[in-house]
Amino acid sequence: MIKKKELVIATKNRKKLREIRQLLNNSKIKLYCLEDFPGAPNVRENGKNFAENAAKKASVLARFTGKLTLGEDSGLEVMALKGAPGIYSSRFSGWPKDDERNNRKLLRMLKNVPFPKRKAAYKCAAALADKNGLIKVVEGACSGIIGFEPKGRHGFGYDPLFIIPKHKKTFAELGERIKHMMSHRAKALQKIMPAILAYKNNQ
């Protein structure tokens, strides 16, 4: 019997964890989360970009767990705001992190910006590391437009505001099936999946 490859998902965000589990649905991979490793350190996300944060999470937690680890960092970049909120997306409106408060702040900042100039992109970096160091870092992106009010009940983060022009609906309206076909996170994980499956050490 072939032993499954083991992978730790380095996040404590339950909504993000659930989505990553769905996207990495593969019978050859046994997934763990940080709750499976009591005492796992909180990694300070102080990188200059998504890739640096993802790499740091993967490397630190791979050393702690001793297993192949996936680190991920993602967020929203709005052109009219010169790329903000960017790496500060989840804590855009301060602590504690709150999706609805972040969305309200974003709408306030874009109050006088017309629809054609509300272009934005979701960005995601995914990093793979084991106890010996960083293995691979990839990135994915999805373009959209920020709406004038939240719409839809699916997803999380800025999904109720993030309109996909092709569908003229937000990610929160489109639902998981369609989102998982085109999202920034889906694209990044598709890129890193070959490296996960090729990893030789089954721990």
What are the binding residues for substrate? 11-16, 74, 156-159, 179, 184-185
73 is catalytic: yes
From 36, 73, 98, 130, active-site residue: 73
From the list 43, 88, 35, the residue with the least C-alpha distance to 61 is 43
Cα separation, 190 vs 87, in Å, equals 22
Q: Name the binding residues.
A: 11-16, 73-74, 156-159, 179, 184-185
CB of 46 within 8 A of CB of 54? no
From the list 152, 151, 136, 147, the residue with the least C-alpha distance to 198 is 136
Q: Name the binding residues for Mg(2+).
A: 73
Cα separation, 23 vs 110, in Å, equals 32
Quick one: which H or E segment has residue 5?
A: strand 5-9
Residues belonging to the active site = 73
